[in-house]
Amino acid sequence: MLRQEWIRFKAALNGVFELFRSEKHARLHLVALLAVLILGFLCRLTTSEWTAVLLASGLVLASEALNTAVEKLCDYVQPRHHHEIGKVKDLAAGAVLIASLTALVVGCLVFIPYLKIWLES
């Protein structure tokens, strides 16, 4: 039983590595996450602030992974342009946009008060 779980975990980890290896936007989101982590440590975020920032960041990365999976599946099923497949891909990309904008708003809510304090001192 444990061996099966390990195999599944390795497969999921391979998916994460494939995401960052093959997708430029996923790497961009990862760089943004690293910048947010550094800024979070500098600001000494509270536990609830860390929770909000990490949940928003995880939502973006998970959305990017699902978008990539949908796009790859669509390209496999229908290699040529198809109007309905295009709509599916647009919807998946829209999910990433929604997650990214949500993360941006969360980031502003968390970090702007700290930036105001830094600018006033």
Q: 0.85 exceeded by the pTM?
A: yes
Give tens-digit pLDDT for 19-31: 999 999 999 999 9
Q: Distance between CA 61 and CA 68 in Å, rounded?
A: 11
Give the integer Cα–Cα distance in Å for 41 and 104. 18
pLDDT tens digits, residue range 70-118?
999 999 999 999 999 999 999 999 999 999 999 999 999 999 999 988 8
Report the pLDDT value the prediction gives residue 97, as an integer from 0 to 100. 97
Name the residues annotated as catalytic.
64
CATH 2.60.40.10 assigned to 2-120: no
CA separation for the pair 109, 10 (Å, rounded): 36
Q: 61: pLDDT confidence band, cut at 50, 70 and 90?
A: very high
Rounded Cα distance between 108 and 20, Å, is: 26
